[in-house]
Chain A
Amino acid sequence: MQRIGVFVCHCGSNIAGTVDVKRVVEAIRTEPGVIHAEDYPYMCSEAGQQLIAKAIEEHKLTGIVVCSCSPRMHEATFRKAAANAGINSFMVEIANIREHCSWIHKDVEEGTEKAVILARAAIAKLNLDTPLQPGESRVVKRALVIGGGIAGIQSALDIADAGYEVDIVEKTPSIGGRMSQLDKTFPTLDCSACILTPKMVEAAAHEKINIYTYSEVEKVSGFVGDFKVDIRKKARYVDSTKCTGCGLCQEKCPSKKAPSEFNRGLNTRSAIYTPFAQAIPNVPVIDTENCLKFKTGKCGICQKICAAGAVDYEQQDEIITREYGAIVVATGFDTIKLDKYDEYAYSQSKDVVTSLELERIMNAAGPTKGHLERLSDGKAPKNIVFIQCVGSRCSDGRGKSYCSKICCMYTAKHAMLIRDKYPDTNVTVFYIDVRTPGKNFDEFYRRAVEDYHVNYVKGQVGKVMPQPDGSLLVQGVDLIDNKQIKMNADMVVLATAIEPDPSVRNIATMLTASIDTNNFLTESHAKLRPVESPTAGVFLSGVCQGPKDIPETVAQAGAAAVKAIGLLAKDKLTTNPCTAQADILLCNGCSTCANVCPYGAISYENIQINDHGIREERRVAVVNNALCQGCGACTVACPSGAMDLQGFSNRQILAEVDAICR
């Protein structure tokens, strides 16, 4: 028989406001096993913990129930306190009478009744608890960073600088991400490539960093400290060890009609290509969909002219399997598709562009060599209209309900840069709100208005109508003057909403990391653990977690790196003992459990069994305790009731249900 102590916390008025804690104490005194019960204003305080320790000693308790906040908050605190007082830390049960009770009830009668029931259930479970010992698992001293944008690069550099090996897996042929596509960057207007390339070079040259470009994560198994990852290195058809990066192949390639991904399809590239001049690595890839050799079997020019003999049409995809202690996800974003926003005529006119396309148009290495011109006829635009919030803040199912956060600032940037370089150009910005919080950010926007005379109009654009003369008729509203505006523009720029890179869904599934309804990766705690995924050992860096600009991305990348380093610095991790176990006398080896286990923790063995005197060989399930995360899926799936979770046995759960229904 257990000797149980029950400790009911007031949590100031958080609990005591809607739960009569004194009545809870009196109500559970007579429960089976309960030797001692008391209440206290703050159980988690030093004094509260001492009170628990004293009671354990005085009453020779074998287990305790703490009726308090969610176990996510203080289970660890009370387990430690119990262990310090000499009882096994798994002989501690938490009855959550705050989040599950006081916070959601208004009526004291109801709140108190429910608190008593929750306490009873916890006591019933504790009566069947047995002491458990956590095990240990190893920590592989290497990190994986998925995504080689500025977030991934920064996280990799910080982890590598701390002395740990890092692999970056980037799906495109070069690292750099979206930042490599930007022209100038707010709020200081420095050239994006000028500040990004040194970081790319540093990462490539770092002895602890290993970069797999044109590669994708294909499979992830294992768990915190000990992940095993398959990386598919796609065939480049160019041998990186031989290629000198001379670029001759790209010049001579006769197939030059493929849309350039880097320039957002605004111009074309050759079938063998490096996405941009500063690409790292500076080794081209052959896009087999456009290569004549792959399409028709004829050509082979690049192989013939390559002096280094690097072109190899026989190259195959390669699967590399590596082990990692920590994984940083930095998969970034893309702009949304605009097919649901026909009113802006994006698909009807080449002169309606997204802001990211404008970055390429303004960039010296872009499709117009940096000259601001209309893509339809090459003429310099005299009137430009910017439309903010395109697809952002839309709860109508066409776009995204959130604010994309960066577009107010980059629109001010674009407007200012244009007014600066082309003072004859009129610039109008239609906005709903101008959102520019941040250091020197509002000043930046005000400069656009006060110094550069950008015409900011509070209101939206209803539609953009391409005219026979090639101009664009913009119909909008000025809500301050309460006037509908019809104006002619030569170019319309859409501040298009951003969304997580679509591949993140697949990555999240492989990592068992959660994502929200918008596909942004979810953090473990919105305020207190913003760079950690709820999945242990997985950290979040950059826009894959939520919209942010470069300074915020870099700050978060550093934070994610620190968390990863904190993990890699450990020699061993203690493992959760609440894992599944099969009763070999009940198991019939049907394989149902292995099919439902999300962690691949279950395998089968043929073993000799003595079943009531009958000796025979049987196939039974064996759980790998290091892999099992204690999710319990197998225990419900097992048709013979052979699977049980330590610390959450079927008997215990039924005892809780009985206590609740009593």
Chain B
Amino acid sequence: MHANNQAEKIKEISGVNPYKCMKCGKCSASCPSYNEMDIKPHQFVSYVINDDVEALVESKSLWKCLSCFACVERCPRNVEPGKLVDAARQLVVRQRGMDYLQADEIPELLDSELPQQLLVSAFRKYKR
């Protein structure tokens, strides 16, 4: 039940319909961070379909995705898998008790591993 809620939340935040995926792998073929990731971009989609959000949230990939949106751009079925990663990231941020990312909280969250693009992306989509 808990897992299911999480998957629903990710779908809601991202606006992604994972069922459109035809498992072609073009996202993973496009991803510049592929080798750094434990769960690959095309797998994000099946993890959400299979309600395995826990694994996604704990994955290295979450913090390795550059939010470059190459996968979003090139996916032939408009699945936009990168948005799932973004949403999963936001779930984590929310779990830490914050609904939206605040600029003054960034220094606290920042670790040296975190790619700059991620922050840019977070603002791009979640800040109104």
Q: Is A343 an interface residue (CB 8 A)?
A: yes
Decide if B89 is an interface residue (CB 8 Å cutoff).
Answer: no
Mask of B16-43 contacts with A, CB within 8 angstroms, 1/0:
0000101111111111001100001010
The proximity string for B residues 25-69 relative to A, scoring 1 for CB distances below 8 Å and 0 otherwise, is: 111111100110000101000000000000000000000000000
Chain B contact patch, size range: 20 to 34
Contact, CB under 8 Å: B20 / A395:
yes
User: Are A395 and B78 CB-contacts (below 8 A) given A432-B22, A461-B29, A477-B29?
Assistant: yes
Within the assembled complex, what's the spacing in Å between the Cα atoms of A458 and B22? 12
Interfacial residues of chain A within 472-512, with CB under 8 A of chain B in the complex: 475-477, 479, 482, 484
Contacts of B70 in A (CB 8 A): 462
Q: Which of B24, B30, B78 contacts A432 (CB 8 A)?
A: B24
Complex interface bits, A440-465 against B, C-beta within 8 A gives 1, otherwise 0: 00000000000000000011111100
Chain A residue contacts of B34, Cβ below 8 A: 477, 484
Q: How far is the CB of B23 from chain A (nearest CB, A)?
A: 7
Interface of chain A, main secondary structure: loop
Q: Is A178 an interface residue (CB 8 A)?
A: no
Whether the pair B74, A343 counts as a contact (CB closer than 8 A) is yes
A87 in contact (CB, < 8 A): no
Given known A-B contacts A462-B70, A479-B23, A394 and B28 have beta carbons under 8 A apart:
no
A542 at the interface (CB under 8 A from B): no
Q: With A and B bound together, what is the CA distance between A460 and B81 in angstroms?
A: 15
**A479-B42, A484-B35 given as contacts; is B28 within 8 A of A396 (CB)?**
no
CB distance from A460 to the nearest CB of B (A): 4
Q: Which of A395, A459, A482, A484 sits near B77, CB closer than 8 Å?
A: A395
Interface centre among B27, B28, B40, B70 (most CB of A within 10 A): B28
Which B residue sits closest to A480, measured CB to CB? B25
Contact residue among A394, A398, A459 (Cβ-Cβ distance under 8 Å from B29): A459
Residues of B within 8 A of A647 (CB): none
Judging by beta carbons under 8 Å apart, are B30 and A394 in contact? no
CB distance from B39 to the nearest CB of A (A): 10
Contact call B76/A396, Cβ cutoff below 8 A: yes
The answer to whether B40 touches A482, judged by C-beta atoms less than 8 angstroms apart, is yes
Q: Which residue of the partner chain A has the closest CB to B80?
A: A396
Q: Does B88 sit at the interface, judged by CB under 8 A?
A: no
Question: Using Cβ atoms and an 8 Å threshold, which residues of chain B touch A461?
Answer: 26, 29
Which residues of chain A are within 8 angstroms of B20 by Cβ–Cβ distance?
395
Tell me whether A484 and B31 are in contact (CB under 8 A).
Answer: yes
Which chain A positions have C-beta within 8 A of B77?
393-396
**A396-B78 contact given A477-B34, A479-B42, CB 8 Å threshold:** yes
Q: Does A399 contact B (CB under 8 A)?
A: yes
Q: Is B85 an interface residue (CB 8 A)?
A: no
Chain B 69-109, CB-CB to A under 8 Å as 1, else 0, gives 01000111110000000000000000000000000000000
- Name the one of B24, B29, B76 contacting A399, with C-beta atoms under 8 angstroms: B76
CA distance A348 to B60 in the complex (A): 36
Q: Which residues of chain B are within 8 angstroms of A432 by Cβ–Cβ distance?
A: 22-25
Report the minimal beta-carbon distance from A63 to chain B, rounded to whole angstroms. Answer: 51
Residues of B within 8 A of A395 (CB): 20, 76-78
Q: List residues 585-618 of chain A with CB under 8 A from any CB of chain B.
A: none
Known A395-B20, A432-B22; contact A459-B76, beta-carbon cutoff 8 A:
no
Q: How far apart are the CA atoms of A459 and B22 in the complex, in Å?
A: 11
Q: Which residues of B contact A463 (CB under 8 A)?
A: 29-30
Q: Which residues of chain B have C-beta atoms less than 8 A from A476's C-beta?
A: 29
Chain B residues within 8 Å of A484, by CB? 28-29, 31, 34-35
Cα A393 to Cα B76 in complex, Å, equals 7
A567, CB-defined interface residue at 8 Å = no
Smallest CB separation, A471 vs chain B (Å): 18
Residue of B nearest to A388 (CB): B24
Nearest-CB residue, chain B, relative to A343: B74
CA distance A461 to B28 in the complex (A): 9
CB distance from B100 to the nearest CB of A (A): 29
Say whether A389 faces chain B, with CB atoms less than 8 Å apart. yes
In the bound complex, CA of A482 to CA of B40 (Å): 8
- Neighbouring B residues of A477 by C-beta, 8 Å: 25-26, 28-29, 34, 40, 42
Report the minimum CB–CB distance from A531 to chain B (whole Å): 31
For chain A residues 371-391, which have a beta carbon within 8 Å of chain B? 389
Nearest 7 CB-CB pairings of A with B: A462-B30, A462-B29, A460-B26, A477-B29, A394-B76, A459-B25, A484-B34
A-B contact pairs, 8 of them (CB 8 A): A394-B77, A432-B24, A459-B28, A460-B26, A462-B28, A462-B29, A462-B74, A484-B34
- List 5 other contacts, CB 8 Å, given A462-B27, A482-B40: A389-B76, A395-B20, A459-B25, A477-B29, A479-B42
Which residues in B have some Cβ–Cβ distance to A below 8 Å? 20, 22-31, 34-35, 40, 42, 70, 74-78
